Amino acid sequence: MRPFSYERASDVQRAVIGGRETRQGQTDAPVQFLAGGTTLIDLMKLDVLRPARVVDIKGLKAAHASIEATPQRLRLGALASMAATARHPGVLRDYPVIAESLQLAASAQLRNMATLGGNVLQRTRCPYYRDTSWAECNKRDPGSGCTALKSFNRNHAVLGVDDSCISQYPGDFAVALVALDAAVELTGPTGRRMIAFETLHRPPQGKPNVETTLMPGEVITAFEVPAGPWTRRSLYLKIRDRSSYEFALSSAAVALDLNGGAVRQARIGLGGMAYRPWRAKEAEALLVGRPLNEGNAMAAATAALAGARTHGGNDFKPELGRRTLVRALLQAAAMEA
Amino acid sequence: MSTTSPAADGPTRRRLFEAAAGLAAAPAIAQAAAPAPTVRKSGAVDVVLNVNGQDHPLTLDPRTTLLDALREHLHLTGSKKGCDQGQCGACTVHVDGERVLSCLTLAVAVQGAKVTTIEGLAGPNGAVHPMQQAFIDNDGFQCGYCTPGQIMSAVACVKEGHAGSDGEIAEYMSGNLCRCAAYPKIVAAIKQARGKMERG
Ligand SMILES: Cc1cc2nc3c(=O)[nH]c(=O)nc-3n(C[C@H](O)[C@H](O)[C@H](O)COP(=O)(O)OP(=O)(O)OC[C@H]3O[C@@H](n4cnc5c(N)ncnc54)[C@H](O)[C@@H]3O)c2cc1C
Ligand code: FES
Ligand code: FES
């Protein structure tokens, strides 16, 4: 690991000052915030992230880790741990898709350490990004190329990719957030702003090294999820190579509002498939007003994966993604909610 | 500084500095939080680590992980380095009563917290913890390399109330890999210790 200086920020103002040299997108930023450290320290050891300064923001827990559920919305402090959020009674009862996305992620130790803010900013697990002995990686070294395009790419993305990068967004929680129209609260040098969660992660657009729309110095302070009649009938289905402690090969976050057997409204997010947390609006639109049976679910899933682009090793993914979504929709329809 | 301008993608540096200046009356960050470690001019950090109930003053390179501080500086070699990447659980310790991975924790970041390692599990008279005894009774290991991490994780698993069934134990212990595959015996050990720990 390269040398860095360490400092603690006890409140958000100090974090913003300490972090103002964080560059947009953060990948090559000279200053990194340290929350749970489960992405940051890992990637610093691998020499992928090379900050000169590390600003420890765990002191923000005192003011930014609470979880509040009101009839209008769920507000999650960005410093709340994955574990605390997954076991919160209000989240479990009214937003099961969020609790499950966290509970099915990582391990008990990692969920104790990791925060929600750090979680959504976790980096891809693409082996060519994580291993610096590969010279070609546009995310690490802009303009160098993409090794995965022509190499082992079994768990690389099929949606939202271009020729600059086919890496997959690996997180689970973000898939639930994007499905439920969540917003992110950012606190930065010019004050506070709310943005739609779906705009936090950028498409590659030839610049996969710029990963997010965060401005320099901005700290994620909270997530807000609007309440809706669909959040109770919601679930997160995760398909992976082993039954625990593994990233998704494919996953679906679904939330349904049913009127008898017919769908009044649907919310769908896909994981394990895409370059960034993925919302499947075309699939949602196809379900509205129709009974939720296997045929209609498959029609929606087909629309969701219609834009898939595969690269050999991941040719199996679109079919796995369709089947995952069909199963998730049928299970959600059968829930008692 | 290079001459590339960030203006196209975000606010200019000048604007940021101006905005930040309004907040800059705050004291230097390193001294701000009460129990924050002291950063020396050299970059080394003076910290006090509370491990197994005892305070240990240390001067550390900020890069030092909690695992390396325990093993190399405090000579508590019970916590093991398996992968050093957060993937195997061999380095599991408790920080403020919660199980965490010491290989992904910076030592300087746990000043002010209470760290418990496998060396701190035994009772005051040296009697082994019920979980340690249960691992012995059930042969919950072969080579033993993963065992300190397994035991620290298992104690937390029971305290969290996640040892209700074999399936639940397997799920909540999945962050501790065992290359010798002693898994069935580890589950048996946890079930034995569960009863003893719950009776206190
Ligand atoms: C072995 C392993 C298995 C895993 N399995 C899964 C899995 O199955 N599913 C899954 O979803 N995840 C998984 N993860 C990823 C894990 O969930 C993330 O590493 C974790 O959530 C990151 O949170 P953190 O608080 O530790 O972030 P940190 O490592 O502290 O920070 C990550 C990044 O976010 C920035 N940051 C942190 N907090 C803020 C903030 N509030 N505002 C602005 N920037 C911030 C940091 O500067 C850094 O760039 C796994 C990780 C490991 C090591
Ligand atoms: S050594 Fe820490 S998880 Fe493997
Ligand atoms: S006993 Fe050998 S690794 Fe677990």
* Phi, psi (rounded to 5 degrees) for B71: -80, -45
Residue with tokens 């291993």: A131
User: Tokens standing for A118?
Assistant: 């750090």
Decide if pLDDT at A235 tops 50. yes
A56 three-class SS: strand
Beta carbons within 8 Å of A288's beta carbon, 6+ residues apart: A263, A264, A265, A266
Tell me, in angstroms, the distance from the centre of ligand 2 to residue B100's CA. 10
Selection from A288, A299, A305, A291 nearest residue A252 by Cα: A305
**pLDDT class of A25 with cuts at 50, 70, 90:** low
pLDDT recorded at residue A330: 98
Topology (CATH) of B38-118: Ubiquitin-like (UB roll) (3.10.20)
The interaxial angle of helices B130-137 and B147-159, nearest 10 deg, is 120
Burial class (CB in 10 A: 0-12, 13-18, 19+), A64: buried
- The H-or-E segment that residue B192 falls in is helix B183-199
Write down the ipTM of this complex: 0.96
Hey, of A7, A32, A102, which one would you mutate to test binding to chain B, going by the most B CBs within 10 A of its CB?
A7
**Mean per-residue pLDDT, A23-35:** 80
User: Tokens standing for B32?
Assistant: 């701000």
**Mean per-residue pLDDT, A132-137:** 96
Tell me, in angstroms, the distance from the centre of ligand 3 to residue B153's CA. 14
* Phi, psi (rounded to 5 degrees) for A51: -70, 145
Q: Which ligand is nearest to the CA of B104?
A: 2
pLDDT recorded at residue B23: 37
User: CATH 1.10.150.120 spans which residues of chain B?
Assistant: 130-199
Decide if pLDDT at B119 tops 90. yes
Q: Do B33 and A112 touch (CB under 8 A)?
A: no
Decide if pLDDT at A2 tops 50. yes
Residue of B87, B101, B102 with the most ligand 1 atoms within 8 Å of its CB, for mutation: B87
Instruction: Spell out the alpha helix ranges (H) of B138-182.
Output: 147-159, 166-172
User: Tokens standing for A258?
Assistant: 């049913």
d(CA A283, CA A305): 9
d(CA A32, CA B45): 18
Q: Do A45 and B33 touch (CB under 8 A)?
A: no
Interface check for B60 against chain A (CB to CB < 8 A): the answer is no
d(CA A80, CA A94): 18
Burial class (CB in 10 A: 0-12, 13-18, 19+), B90: buried
Q: Which residues of B touch A118 (CB under 8 A)?
A: none
Q: Which residues of B touch A18 (CB under 8 A)?
A: 29
The distance from CA A200 to its chain's CA centroid, rounded to whole angstroms, is 10
* Average pLDDT value for chain A: 96
Beta carbons within 8 Å of B81's beta carbon, 6+ residues apart: B67, B71, B90, B91, B103
**pLDDT class of B83 with cuts at 50, 70, 90:** very high
Cβ(A77) – ligand 1 distance below 6 Å: no
* Phi, psi (rounded to 5 degrees) for A331: -65, -40
Q: How do strand A234-239 and strand A278-279 relate by DSSP bridges?
A: unpaired
**Integer angstrom CA distances of residue B111 from B47, B49, B51, B66:** 6, 5, 10, 10
- B130-199 maps to CATH 1.20.1050.10: no
Cβ(B179) – ligand 3 distance below 6 Å: yes
Residue A65 C-alpha, separation from nearest chain B C-alpha, in angstroms: 17
Decide if pLDDT at A27 tops 70. no
Selection from A263, A259, A99, A268 nearest residue A180 by Cα: A268
Domain boundaries, chain A: 64-120+171-226, 234-333
| Contacts A–B by Cβ distance under 8 A | 139
Instruction: Spell out the alpha helix ranges (H) of A77-224.
Output: 82-86, 89-94, 96-103, 108-113, 116-120, 127-130, 173-179
Cβ(A209) – ligand 1 distance below 6 Å: no
Q: Do B6 and A24 touch (CB under 8 A)?
A: yes
**Mean per-residue pLDDT, A213-239:** 96
pLDDT recorded at residue A155: 97
Decide if pLDDT at A200 tops 50. yes
Q: Which residue of B has its CA nearest to A54?
A: B62
Q: Do B29 and A7 touch (CB under 8 A)?
A: yes
B87 and A111 in contact (C-beta within 8 Å)? Answer: no
DSSP-based helix, strand, coil % in chain B, nearest 5: 40, 15, 45
Strand partners, B102: none
% of chain B at pLDDT higher than 90: 75
Is 0.95 topped by the overall pTM? Answer: no
A224 three-class SS: strand
Gap between the terminal Cα atoms of chain A: 49
B150 and B132 in contact (C-beta within 8 Å)? Answer: no
Cβ(B103) – ligand 2 distance below 6 Å: yes
% of chain A at pLDDT higher than 90: 93
* CATH class of the region A64-120+171-226: alpha beta
pLDDT tens-place string over residues A117-128:
999 999 999 999
Query: How is B63-117 classified by DSSP, letter by letter?
Result: T-BHHHIIIIIS--TTS--SSSSSSS-TTEEEETTEEEEGGGSBGGGGTTSEEE-
- Hey, what amino acid is at B171? E
Residue-wise burial string across B20-45, b where 16 or more C-beta atoms lie within 10 A, e elsewhere: beeeeeeeebbebbeebbebeeeebb
d(CA A145, CA A138): 5
Q: Which residue of A has its CA nearest to B8?
A: A24
Q: Which of B32, B86, B162 sits opposite A42 (nearest CB)?
A: B86
Decide if pLDDT at A214 tops 50. yes
**Mean per-residue pLDDT, A13-30:** 79
Residue with tokens 């195997």: B88
A236 three-class SS: strand
Interface of B with A in 175-194 (CB under 8 A): 175-176
Decide if pLDDT at B193 tops 90. yes
pLDDT recorded at residue A261: 82
Q: Which ligand is nearest to the CA of A123?
A: 1
User: Tokens standing for B158?
Assistant: 């029971």
**pLDDT class of B84 with cuts at 50, 70, 90:** very high
The residue with greater pLDDT, B135 or B17, is: B135
A37 and A113 in contact (C-beta within 8 Å)? Answer: yes
Decide if pLDDT at A182 tops 70. yes
Topology (CATH) of A234-333: Enolase-like; domain 1 (3.30.390)
Ramachandran category for residue A216: left, alpha or beta (phi over 0 → left; psi -120 to 50 → alpha): beta
User: Tokens standing for A306?
Assistant: 């219609």
A110 three-class SS: helix
pLDDT tens-place string over residues A51-88:
999 999 999 999 999 999 999 999 999 999 999 999 99
* Phi, psi (rounded to 5 degrees) for A57: -110, 15
d(CA A180, CA A176): 6
Strand partners, A185: A194, A222
pLDDT tens-place string over residues A249-289:
999 999 999 998 899 999 999 999 999 999 999 999 999 99
**pLDDT class of B39 with cuts at 50, 70, 90:** confident
pLDDT tens-place string over residues A36-47:
999 999 999 999
